[in-house]
Structure 1
Amino acid sequence: MSDSLSARTTRITGHGGDEIEAYLARPDGEAPRGGVVVIHHMPGYDRATKEIVRRFAELGYDAICPNLYSREAPGASPDDAAATARAQGGVPDERLVGDVAGAASHLRALPTSNGRVGVIGYCSGGRQSVLAACHLDLDAAVDCYGAFVTGTPPEGFPLKVTNLVDQLPGLRAPLLGLFGVEDRFPGPEQVAELEQILTAEGKEFEFHSYEGAGHAFFSVDRPSYNVPAANDGWERITAFYAKHLGG
């Protein structure tokens, strides 16, 4: 674990060859290490997400977060960019996969890369983490309370999103899922359905659900923050990535 790191805004090649903004954090030193792609939540490419990127660098990984709203609202504040993206139905799945692929390639091209890359996402990013792991050659995936991996969006839901049930047989990476028992999207029944599908498909996964925790329990800047759940979740993420990414 390192307490010395650097972080900066950079540009990477995303879906379709588009150049998009990204936030990159790296621990000091030249030792080989794994990489982590952080997929931001629906509120956007914000300060809280960048803090998570730096935390992974502190844990010893090269970490990057692509700005998924670079095209809709370049230069806008996180709130304005998220509102623009939401009004357009959210990030298309195909484009998300392309942007994560570009971020993973950027990490693997760094001179410190050991070739292994994991992905993690929160809220909408949790679903997108699973989506990416169904289509890309990644070494580990973490789903933090991603809605609509299973289940059906309610009537009037603002995002153009479907579940991933038909894509789950293609999951290519070990999956860690962290959920709140008090959450509605995903609710415990949706988590149970996901567990049943992955078990039937013979996939490698581990799930943990926290009593008293609702949606967004990792969010330190929101009332939903749940200290015991978040602390235990970070311990499990740390152990999971150490096992699959090295470190």
Structure 2
Amino acid sequence: MSESSTSPTGSLTATTISIAGHGDDRIEAYLARPEGETTRGGVVVIHHMPGYDRASKEITRRFAELGYDAICPNLYHRDAPGAAPDDAAAVGRANGGVPDERLVGDVAGAAAHLRSLSTSNGKVGTIGYCSGGRQSVLAACSTPVDAAVDCYGAFVTGVVPEGFPMKITTLVDKLPDLGAPLLGLFGAEDQYPSPEQVAELDQRLTDLGKEFEFHSYEGAGHAFFAVDRPSYNVPAANDGWERIETFFGRHLGS
């Protein structure tokens, strides 16, 4: 990413706002922006299954530090408004997870909010971790975005295990509609997605002629970006962040 895309002083603002999500429902979202009125791209951060938590907000602020307007919609807002992240995530799991149609509507609403800002250059990317990785791909297949990042999202391909508690399907039938370049970052020691599932996705996207790049890290398992978990893998996370910066810099501009 070019130096000019970042805030000159590193200063930013971050606040909780209300946006129009799926079905024009008002949902909570966390918005972080670099100071100044420089025209720039936007990033929708799709939080992981544990919810709209401190870690997700830290990631959102990191994108603002990198020079983007960034927003993280609270996907569990309807399930448990005002609840603590762990409690809201528990309710979300009990309900079978975030329905795909609702996810797409909420991400589209978050992207529309970013594009409405005076600093927007009109370009918006998505990024998601864990369940959010799959949802980032889903969004890129279902609503206009300019780039998407999948960080170890399970069940984009493969087979959902029998008895799996979440109401989820793979995205194989949606991949022909992928409308944006895709960056995939995976752990070679992960089970969901496994290296075999990543290879299947690679082959399907190749056959479809889609623009994508995948990187898998030896010795890294699931959630290797999570600084607050034992799964955190410093070399993999550092390299992954560099690739994300380069990828968004190329496709979202500044």
The interval holding the TM-score normalised by the smaller chain is: over 0.9
CA distance in 2, matches of 1:162, 1:141: 19
Establish whether residue 15 from structure 1 lines up as the match of residue 18 from structure 2.
no
1:246 alignment counterpart: 253
1:104 to 92, 104, 111: 111
SS where residue 232 of structure 1 aligns?
A: helix
- Cα deviations by residue, 1:7-49 (Å, 9 ceiling, x for unpaired): 0000000000100000000000001000000000000000000
Match of 2:182 among 175, 186, 189: 175
| 2:237 alignment partner in structure 1 | 230
Separation in structure 2 between the aligned mates of residue 201 and residue 122 of structure 1, nearest angstrom: 24
Q: What is the aligned residue count?
A: 247
State the SS of the aligned residue for 2:163: coil
- Counterpart for residue 156 of structure 2: 149
Q: Determine if the alignment matches structure 1 residue 68 to structure 2 residue 75.
A: yes
Write the distance in 1 (CA, Å) between the matches of 2:130 and 2:70: 19
Q: RMSD over aligned Cα, in angstroms?
A: 0.5
Following superposition, the deviation at residue 155 of structure 1 comes to 2.0
Aligned residue in 1 for 2:136: 129
CA–CA distance in 2 between the matches of 1:160 and 1:101? 21
* Alignment partner, residue 25 of structure 1: 32
Shift, 1:182, TM fit:
0.2
1-structure distance, mates of 2:165, 2:33: 36
Instruction: Give distance in 1, aligned partners of 2:238 and 2:24.
Output: 38
Distance 2:187 2:145 in 1: 25
One-letter amino acid of the structure 2 residue matched with residue 113 of structure 1: S
- CA-CA distance at 1:152 after TM superposition: 1.2
Of residues 204, 207, 214 in structure 2, which corresponds to 1:197? 204
Question: What SS does the corresponding residue of 1:36 show, helix, strand or coil?
Answer: strand
Q: Which runs of 5+ in 2 are unaligned?
A: 1-5
Identify the residue that residue 220 of structure 1 maps to in structure 2.
Answer: 227
- 1:80 is the counterpart of 2:52: no
Identical counterparts, % of pairs: 79
Distance between the aligned counterparts of 1:46 and 1:158, measured in 2? 22
Q: CA separation in 1, counterparts of 2:230 and 2:88?
A: 22
2-structure distance, mates of 1:233, 1:4? 24
Displaced runs of 4+ in structure 1, greater than 6 A? none
CA distance, structure 2, for counterparts of residue 81 and residue 154 of structure 1:
24
